[in-house]
Structure 1
Amino acid sequence: MTDSPASLPCPLWRRLIALVYDLLAVVAIVMVVGLVCQLATGGRVVTTGAQTAIAWWYRPLQAVVVSAYFVVSWLRGGQTLGMRPWHLRVTARDGTAAGLRQALVRVVVAGLPLALLALAPLLGLRGALWATLAGWVVWFAPALVDRRRRALHDIAAGTEVRRFD
């Protein structure tokens, strides 16, 4: 498909700014889910004492809810809240709407650098956060050289982010 002026590959800087906007939405989602879980369990999601303990189901629940935000957004119009002001849209390679499988692959692959947080016992929290950031730098690096400006999760899912002006 040739690029029309109305649909061009999105430059990386726009994607990253939209991602910052989405980070605000994700923080709000995490806070609401945390509040609902605390209310539903009578405040026993996180217990303190000699050691702080988090219920085994809490982190996976947060991951599912945040992933659902992205997948549903991409399936319903191809845009998250952060993508809307920047006129960005996730599409399949041919410019059509991304499908469920593509959205699921995209969210799983995009989230893989979060697994580096598991290194916190070895590296400390700061080291694990830096490792995660480095992972995302590697994930987005292909967008700097790819003709279609695709990041690693776009390549894996067969999607791309397009700019619509």
Structure 2
Amino acid sequence: MASSAVPVSLPVPSRRRLFASMMYESILLFGIVFLVGLIFDYATKSYHALYLRHSRQFLIFLAIGLYFMLAWRRAGQTLPMKTWYIRLETKQGTKPGYVQLLLRYLLMWPIPLACALLVQYLSTLTGYASTDLLIVAAPFSIFVWSWFDKDGLFMHDRLAGTRLVDLQARITKQQAKTA
């Protein structure tokens, strides 16, 4: 089993590829959020978006977490990560365990939520409702930490002991050896 582990020497994917993967991921997550919300509304017979809002949000939070944790544990990748040749692994180059994956998932949220609170504060401060449109930048705030991290890791990866690796670099190395 140890022979199938990717060497730790693989580089971190470029921010451009991480961003592209994140955009693709958002399309899939839209489907998950929609489906979970639809099932929730049908099961609770809610006809108003604010009815049982916190229960709905918690269920969606769990569904997204389950999606990520199952995909990461099975293959170290979600579909967008496969498309962009990105894989999640531990610092040692192995598959993360469920506790590590849960920690990573939970640690992904503080920075975007803080950014969302900042947008809400700015909207209240300025009085311009259009300031709320800045909320679309909140998920991308996770990139800020990576600019200052010596290895280019996200904060949640640094704290959880995981890293994203560029599998395309391995393919390029293998092609260079065979050429």
Shorter-chain TM-score category? Answer: 0.7 to 0.9
- What RMSD in Å do the two structures reach over aligned CA positions? 2.5
Choose the corresponding residue for 2:63, options 54, 57, 65.
65
Deviates more, 1:124-133 or 1:86-95: 124-133
Q: Distance in 1 between matches of 2:136 and 2:57?
A: 20
Q: Larger Rg: 1 or 2?
A: 2
Aligned residue in 1 for 2:106: 108
Count of matched residue positions in the alignment of Structure 1 and Structure 2: 154
Choose the corresponding residue for 1:82, options 80, 93, 108.
80
Tell me which protein shows more helix as a share of its residues: 2
Aligned residue in 1 for 2:23: 20
Tell me which protein shows more strand as a share of its residues: 1
Q: Distance in 1 between matches of 2:81 and 2:106?
A: 19
Alignment TM-score, normalising by the size of structure 1 = 0.79
Is there any run of 5+ residues in structure 1 with no aligned partner, and where? 48-52
Q: Distance in 1 between matches of 2:105 and 2:47?
A: 30
**Identical columns (%):** 24
Is there any run of 5+ residues in structure 2 with no aligned partner, and where? 1-6, 124-130, 172-179
Moved over 6 A (4+): none
In the alignment, structure 1 residue 146 sits paired with structure 2 residue 144: no
Q: Distance in 1 between matches of 2:79 and 2:68?
A: 9
Give, as a single letter, the amino acid of the residue that structure 1 aligns with 2:150.
Answer: D
Cα deviations by residue, 1:41-100 (Å, 9 ceiling, x for unpaired): 2234625xxxxx543311111111111111111111100111011111100001011111
Alignment TM-score, normalising by the size of structure 2 = 0.73
